[in-house]
Amino acid sequence: MIKRRFLQTTAALAAVAAFSGVAHAQTPIKFQLDWRFEGPAALFLHPAAKGYFKQAGLDVTVDSGNGSGGTVTRVASGTYDMGFADMAALMEFHANNPDAPNKPVAVMMVYNNTPAAVLALKKSGITKPADLEGKKLGAPVFDAGRKGFPIFQKANNINNVAWTSMDPPLRETMLVRGDIEAITGFSFTSLLNLEARGVKAEDIVILPYADYGVKLYGNAIIASPKLIAENPAAVKAFLTAFAKGAKEVMANPAVAIESVKARDGIINVGLETRRLALAVDAVVASPDARKEGFGQVVPGRLALMASQVSDAYNTKTRVDPTKIWNGSMLPSAAELNVLPPAKK
């Protein structure tokens, strides 16, 4: 009798878990960021530290990255199950590797606008895109802003610029030294890097791509098609737990940054808190994100981006926007209502 009641209870609990869509207990998920453990990484490290992934039945490990291209490749290879990567890098991989058996897809938009921007010093005389005509720009060859610059160039009728390549740590240094006249980079990264090199914020000119006619999407959460096919509940559970944590991060960046410090004890807490707040304001809780809804994409805008990336990146085949995105595992509208109140 007791044994039968135990079996009935166990079966009932299993049915409830299945009905609620929660992933199987402690499904392992290997997740790679796009970059180092800096402020914006709190969006992922905070829900992990708070146990939200575990509560959703997931055993998530979050590793740092070294660029979106690497993250896409590692998810494609099966080394990682999910990751955080620039949408343009994902599109480039699809179009240049049409026969790859395991092409990752985006499952949730996080940076509704690309963080890419052109930055210059005021003393250069550059105040608007037209002023870049004939100037010497610098960035690593794989920089998202540099690769997408032809789109910015076309939108703003800039005819010719000259490029200088360097490793990422030298980009802002070379601008300060005067070796180049402008750089491309993520606005919230390069701005703080320039300040760290002694430049005052008021002496820096920032030309965000999103403010000058370039409506590219930025970073999204990507997943392996294998994981999506075998355990879509795990992907949905991850996105739901992430959204819960992201809401708290945006409401209180200063508290959330502790999760980053726990992973990299030598970070400058004040600097990274500011970097996180800048990222949230610029690309996560942007006007476009409020209009479209956090986590979502608009098909027409995605299709335009696919066409622009195909041209700017000179891909082997055209990007097919229908193969890039799968929004079927997104949490409910209520669970996606995570953006902080708009600043007045």
pTM higher than 0.75: yes
Residue 17 confidence (pLDDT): 45
CA distances from 213 to 15, 58, 117, 152, 333 (A): 51, 40, 12, 7, 29
Q: Which two tokens stand for residue 241?
A: 């737990």
DSSP state of 83: E
Residue 343 confidence (pLDDT): 82
Domain 24-112+217-323 has CATH 3.55.50.30: no
**Closest residue by Cα to residue 42 from 261, 220, 336, 217:** 261
Residue 7 confidence (pLDDT): 45
Residue 12 confidence (pLDDT): 44
| CB 164 within 8 Å of CB 182 | no
**DSSP codes joined into one string, 4-29:** HHHHHHHHHHHHHHHHHTPPSTTEEE
The conformational region for residue 167 under phi > 0 = left, psi -120 to 50 = alpha, else beta, is: beta
Question: Which backbone phi and psi does 14 adopt, to 5 degrees?
Answer: -65, -40
| CB 38 within 8 Å of CB 267 | yes
Contact residues for 232 (Cβ-Cβ < 8 A; gap 6+) = 328, 329
Sheet holding 219-223, edge to edge: 58-63, 27-32, 82-86, 219-223, 105-109
Sheet holding 136-138, edge to edge: 162-164, 136-138, 182-186, 116-121, 204-208
The distance of Cα 277 from the centroid of its chain, to the nearest Å, equals 15
For the chain, list residues with pLDDT below 50: 1-24
Residue 217 confidence (pLDDT): 98
| CB 19 within 8 Å of CB 232 | no
CA distance 243 to 331: 8
Give the domain ranges of the chain.
Answer: 24-112+217-323, 116-211
CA distances from 26 to 31, 55, 60, 75 (A): 15, 9, 9, 20
Beta strand pairing call for 116-121 and 182-186: antiparallel
Question: Which backbone phi and psi does 154 adopt, to 5 degrees?
Answer: -65, -40
Say if 24-112+217-323 and 116-211 have the same CATH topology: yes
Domain 116-211: give its CATH superfamily. Answer: Periplasmic binding protein-like II (3.40.190.10)
Residue 2 confidence (pLDDT): 46
DSSP E strands in 41-135: the ranges are: 58-63, 82-86, 105-109, 116-121
